[in-house]
Amino acid sequence: MRALLKPVIARELGVVLLKPGSELMPMFISGRVLVESQPDNMTSFETGRVPDLRQPLAVNPALRSFFLHEKVITAAGGLNGLEYWLLRHGGGIFQYQHSDYHYHELTTMRHEPGAILLCGHCDNRLREQFTERLADLARQNVIDWVLDIARVALALDKARELSLAELCWWAVRVGVTDALPESVAREALRLPAAKETYRESEIVPAVPATSIIAAKSLVLSAGPAGAPPAPAIKPIVGVLVDPESPQTLMKRPKRTRWDKPKYLAWVKTQPCECCGRQSDDPHHLIGWGQGGMGTKAHDSLVIPLCRQHHTELHNDPVKFERKHGTQPEMIIRVLDRAFALGVLA
């Protein structure tokens, strides 16, 4: 949480008094507070709490076509990933008030070009309706989601503003540089804005900035000089379904453990199920009949956790589950996301 406060300075005593108010008081009782100079990009903000996800890139009209591009949405996880993100990070508040009555459970409704977080009652009333107001909400959800996905992929803090250069680097990593507008690519490369010419004699052939970024991404993927281009790595683990496995016909079959390092590597890239920060470990299920002495749960029964919450779970699993929810619930959410995104196929 970040906030802008106006201090009251008693110059004779050299004392600075801060009046945070009831809304910001939890910042001062939960631990240490960092005091820093006001950034230039916050000079127009009113005194009080600064929204955690405020991103200048989200309101840049030149980037709108990039965020809403089909390839960018697919690279970020597709509409299934957007709906999962809304349910996990939507703040538990419905985004559209259609009536005075609201059902307590939230759901998502797809609306071009993305999705919206609604209560079950409003979802039934608004289903199959298409309005500009709903479209604006859906567009903003897509933009905020893509920015958050890029921030997590680059291992950046949730409250940190994403720069244009970092967004372009994410576009290079996921292979969507061709969706970048030319003006945005030129700004990221610090090239002068394209000059509008009206006379043929003033036209000078130039290499498009988007092609420069695309060429650089090809060089990065090619590896050492002279080496063939590296194949695109897709985080997909094939799951073979065999209902007539030989072990099913045995009276006392020998159980084998499902071991998939690629899936563990993907889980490690996901946000922590407790706090949303970048995870450090894929935690294997313990308790619930799994993870006993000398045994380990299947690699499918794992949860992305940061180091702090991983340690907290192992120190006291019962207390951890009472505070954050049960491990099976978390595993279901992770598996649902993995199947929805094509990681498990």
| For residue 209, pLDDT beyond 60 | yes
- Domain chopping of the chain, boundaries: 2-50, 52-198+205-225, 257-340
- Model pLDDT, residue 91: 54
| Residue-level pLDDT at 283 | 92
- The pLDDT score that the predictor gives to residue 120 is 65
- Residue, of 148 and 209, whose pLDDT is higher: 148
What pTM was estimated for this model as a whole?
A: 0.52
- From residue 224, how far is each of 19, 86, 219 by CA, in Å? 57, 41, 9
In the chain, beta strands by DSSP E: 2-4, 8-10, 15-17, 48-50, 106-111, 114-119, 281-284, 302-305
> What whole-number distance in Å separates Cα of residue 276 and Cα of residue 191?
36
State residue 202's pLDDT score: 52
The pLDDT of 137-166, averaged and rounded, is 85
Per-residue pLDDT at 106 exceeds 70: yes
Residue 53 is predicted with a pLDDT of: 46
What residue type is 261 in one-letter code?
P
